[in-house]
Amino acid sequence: MPAVSKGDGMRGLAVFISDIRNCKSKEAEIKRINKELANIRSKFKGDKALDGYSKKKYVCKLLFIFLLGHDIDFGHMEAVNLLSSNRYTEKQIGYLFISVLVNSNSELIRLINNAIKNDLASRNPTFMGLALHCIANVGSREMAEAFAGEVPKILVAGDTMDSVKQSAALCLLRLYRTSPDLVPMGDWTSRVVHLLNDQHLGVVTAATSLITTLAQKNPEEFKTSVSLAVSRLSRIVTSASTDLQDYTYYFVPAPWLSVKLLRLLQCYPPPDPAVRGRLTECLETILNKAQEPPKSKKVQHSNAKNAVLFEAISLIIHHDSEPNLLVRACNQLGQFLQHRETNLRYLALESMCTLASSEFSHEAVKTHIDTVINALKTERDVSVRQRAVDLLYAMCDRSNAQQIVAEMLSYLETADYSIREEIVLKVAILAEKYAVDYAWYVDTILNLIRIAGDYVSEEVWYRVIQIVINRDDVQGYAAKTVFEALQAPACHENLVKVGGYILGEFGNLIAGDPRSSPLVQFNLLHSKFHLCSVPTRALLLSTYIKFVNLFPEVKTTIQDVLRSDSQLKNADVELQQRAVEYLRLSTVASTDILATVLEEMPPFPERESSILAKLKKKKGPSTVTDLEDTKRERSVDVNGGPEPVPASTSAASTPSPSADLLGLGAAPAAPAGPPPSSGGGLLVDVFSDSASAVAPLAPGSEDNFARFVCKNNGVLFENQLLQIGLKSEFRQNLGRMFIFYGNKTSTQFLNFTPALICPDDLQSHLNLQTKPVDPTVDGGAQVQQVVNIECVSDFTEAPVLNIQFRYGGTFQNVSVQLPITLNKFFQPTEMSSQDFFQRWKQLSNPQQEVQNIFKAKHPMDTEITKAKIIGFGSALLEEVDPNPANFVGAGIIHTKTTQIGCLLRLEPNLQAQMYRLTLRTSKETVSQRLCELLSQQF
């Protein structure tokens, strides 16, 4: 403590400290401390008034004793007295004691506040600074009540010294964080925003932190900060490395301030075109600088420079609106993937994960697959390998799933124990999600069990069984594969579980082969029986009784096993009961009854993959949703609706014998398909909220709407209060959309009522069903609404989503178009060149063709165009058009009443920056609408 140490030595304190240091044992130290405490107590209680110096010395000793880890229960009053001293060191020790040892003794707080008030009014910048730091350190509600009004005044007063302004800004920030309700916005806010223009960069730095936090909750008040922040940033990034003098850190101009400004900009959507242009320039400059040779070899230089770069990249990703910048960001990160600094490799892998979920950069991220795989194999640091696993998971799609899954599997053999379970979950999810060939899926899961059986959770092996049961094309293969896997002399118990279950259901499919005859199957399973735990044995007993039904020829063998003492008299109640009941069942029931009771399991209802739910739980929802969203492909999985179903473990997953065997009602067959279109469901009532008028469409809503034509997931709307995210999936003429309403504030939304509004003539074409959501949305919380969609016939207009709620006493009303467009009901159709042109000619009736010639609104990039056409829903047909620069697509629009074949052709003209789009379908309105929708995209 230099204030004590330099020039103000307190001899008594020095002696005391050196005594403590010389203590030979803990006991001696405690003894010395107790002696000192008694001494101080008597001094404080004594009749003689102590002078400031003595008070300071004793308070300082108490503080020192406290810092050694002992409790202090007196001296507060003396410390408070020191606050009113005019000597700096006395005041400072007083404040130090209060900051460290304050309690909510209300009597004391009043005195402290009084002293602080005097110091704030003292116009002595050092005293003001001490007082502000004390408020910022304590930050209690009482202090907020006393000073929340005063601090803003100090902050914006014209004659306040710069250093005091800085402290005042952060002091106010602290008060706002603890008691936002006590810091009312007022005239001062606009003046605080102008601190971004302040001459003194230290003031700007402190003010930017304050504004960033305030702007999150009071966006309107601070919206002018966007253009000021951009100007400031622009001045910093274009300055020469010495312009900012003291604020240049290892040749990087004001890195802290730059990072803070970039972060402030993340609070707002991309700004208006003029400001946006300047911001884009700044971001480009930052990206350009990354390519310049370093100005210093010191790691501080590169860290500071890259801190700004990574912050810029995260702003680019956050805005997700400039394809050029996104691709540049991706290239930059690609360079870092191979950087010799471990830190940069780590951060590049991490940032790329978020880039992988942007439409614009997903493909660019994928090009780095080999580097990432290599990182998985060669990185020496497990936290870096973990990031590589995350990135592989994020960049996975149908095109690379087999490779990625194979690499993850091979990594799993040597992976660190701490991350094995997560890798197992990821592999299981990817294998399921991108399984074109379910044999591959079954192989993958069995490999998982073989390599990392201990880390394969119940969810994973339940899931493989659910999938095998729901897909009859894979059942025979699954039976054969598990049978072969079980041949291994030592196999994991999880494999015995899966094997037992699958053979019990589908063993008959391989029983024709004498090498896997019923008896062989039974003997194989039974050879594992004694090595297994009770739950697995219980499962195997159920398999045996299923065998009795499937294979009458092994009935007596199985009855003998069930009848043996080790089963019938087993100490475990569950096993004993199963043995008794199954034996009885096999004896008394007729073949018909057996066949009914032991019938094959009905398909499982569609539901969210339970493993996905588990990964979400493990990693927090955001990570997983991100990854989910990357995928442009339509989900064709049997299972995989993203909705968590409360009953997460199905009847078949629990080892309860009755549910297992009977499967009556417990797991009813609910085939994938349309939700009931009428009946008990709450149909959306357009006029249910007739009392309040519907708001006009939110600005920018059109743009956002267009962005969703070629994608299904993303943020539909965002203002400073509310974020609306969408996830949707479509299959044939049906769809399901999950709408996520996020409350961005810390205050509850009340009477929260989202309503779907179909214009009159849309209602007969499109069926929407949803349930109302909870009318209260807590601060920071998110609620979800599911909309079931049925396309009855082709349509043009889009439904409107109107949201009304109360926020802090004001009524909010937001309307946005819901991006349910005709192309969502596309099924891609692959066809040969010959077929294509034959059909093209067949659709030559002038009403069937619609053509549009238009100017390119975005850079004409082949890969992006391809991705958009695929995202639009049609198949992209390669090598069909004689001109390779052209794009050709085909698909079928599914409606409830009819199916409409569609062909499209897009001819770019790079020189003129124009496109010609031609649509041919059997229905004029469809051609018209699809042409409109797709034209907006380029």
Q: Rank residues 56 and 463 by Cβ distance to other proteins and give the closer one.
A: 56
In whole angstroms, what is the distance from residue 35 CA to residue 37 CA? 5
Nearest distance from residue 629's CB to other proteins, in Å? Answer: 5
Residue located via tokens 């230099």:
2
Which class for 658: exposed (0-12), middle (13-18), buried (19 or more C-beta within 10 A)? exposed
- Run of H or E residues at 460: helix 458-470
Nearest distance from residue 730's CB to other proteins, in Å? Answer: 15
Question: According to CB under 8 A, which residues from 2 to 21 bind other proteins?
Answer: 2-11, 13-14, 17-18, 20-21
11 is in an annotated binding site: yes
786 is in an annotated binding site: no
- Run of H or E residues at 715: strand 714-718
CB 312 within 8 Å of CB 287:
yes
Question: According to CB under 8 A, which residues from 689 to 718 bind other proteins?
Answer: 713-715, 718
Distances (CA, A) of 50 to 44, 82, 610: 8, 11, 71
Q: Rank residues 435 and 724 by Cβ distance to other proteins and give the closer one.
A: 724
CB 151 within 8 Å of CB 132:
yes
Nearest to 317 by CA among 309, 703, 338, 385: 309
Among 58, 336, 346, 529, binds other proteins (CB under 8 A): 346
345 near other proteins, judged by CB under 8 A? yes
Binding mask 469-498 for other proteins (x = CB under 8 A): ------------------------------
Among 166, 447, 466, 521, binds other proteins (CB under 8 A): 166
Question: According to CB under 8 A, which residues from 53 to 92 bind other proteins?
Answer: 64, 67-68, 87-89, 92
Tokens of 152: 């803003």
Question: According to CB under 8 A, which residues from 832 to 861 bind other proteins?
Answer: none
Amino acid at 427: V
Nearest distance from residue 100's CB to other proteins, in Å? Answer: 8
577 near other proteins, judged by CB under 8 A? no
Q: Rank residues 174 and 607 by Cβ distance to other proteins and give the closer one.
A: 174
23 near other proteins, judged by CB under 8 A? yes
C-alpha dihedral (290, 291, 294, 300), degrees to nearest 10? 20
Question: According to CB under 8 A, which residues from 429 to 458 bind other proteins?
Answer: none
Q: Rank residues 620 and 696 by Cβ distance to other proteins and give the closer one.
A: 620
Nearest distance from residue 635's CB to other proteins, in Å? Answer: 13
Among 39, 84, 163, 732, binds other proteins (CB under 8 A): 163
424 is in an annotated binding site: no
Which class for 135: exposed (0-12), middle (13-18), buried (19 or more C-beta within 10 A)? buried
Look up residue 149 and give its DSSP letter: T
Nearest distance from residue 607's CB to other proteins, in Å? Answer: 19
**425: phi then psi, degrees, rounded to nearest 5:** -60, -45
- Tell me the DSSP string of 189-215: HHHHHGGGG-S-HHHHHHHHHHHHHHH
Nearest distance from residue 372's CB to other proteins, in Å? Answer: 16
268 is in an annotated binding site: no
Among 144, 254, 800, 906, binds other proteins (CB under 8 A): 254
In whole angstroms, what is the distance from residue 351 CA to residue 398 CA? 22
Question: According to CB under 8 A, which residues from 916 to 935 bind other proteins?
Answer: none
150 near other proteins, judged by CB under 8 A? no
622 near other proteins, judged by CB under 8 A? yes
Nearest to 736 by CA among 822, 673, 678: 673
Residue located via tokens 């008299």:
569
Q: Rank residues 3 and 595 by Cβ distance to other proteins and give the closer one.
A: 3
Q: Rank residues 213 and 650 by Cβ distance to other proteins and give the closer one.
A: 213
Distances (CA, A) of 364 to 327, 361, 591, 623: 7, 5, 61, 20
Please give the size of the binding site for other proteins, defined by CB under 8 A: 116
542 near other proteins, judged by CB under 8 A? no
Applying CB under 8 A, the span of 253-261, 565-573, 804-812, 886-894 interacting with other proteins comes to 253-261
58 is in an annotated binding site: yes
Q: Rank residues 210 and 540 by Cβ distance to other proteins and give the closer one.
A: 210
Among 55, 61, 319, 328, binds other proteins (CB under 8 A): 319
Q: Rank residues 205 and 865 by Cβ distance to other proteins and give the closer one.
A: 205
Question: According to CB under 8 A, which residues from 100 to 119 bind other proteins?
Answer: 100
Question: According to CB under 8 A, which residues from 285 to 314 bind other proteins?
Answer: 300, 303-304, 306-307, 310-311, 314
Spatial neighbors of 479 by CB under 8 A, at least 6 apart, are 502, 503, 506, 507, 509, 510
Q: Tell me the sheet residues that pair with 714.
A: 726
Question: According to CB under 8 A, which residues from 748 to 787 bind other proteins?
Answer: 780, 782
Amino acid at 108: L
53 is in an annotated binding site: yes
- Tell me the DSSP string of 563-617: HSHHHHT-SSHHHHHHHHHHHHHHHHS-HHHHHHHTPPPPPPPP---HHHHHHHH
- Run of H or E residues at 787: strand 782-791
262 near other proteins, judged by CB under 8 A? yes
Among 66, 182, 191, 202, binds other proteins (CB under 8 A): 202
Nearest to 531 by CA among 573, 574, 489: 489
Nearest distance from residue 740's CB to other proteins, in Å? Answer: 4
In whole angstroms, what is the distance from residue 131 CA to residue 114 CA? 11
43 is in an annotated binding site: yes
Tokens of 207: 């003010």
| Residues annotated in a binding site | 11-12, 43, 53, 57-61
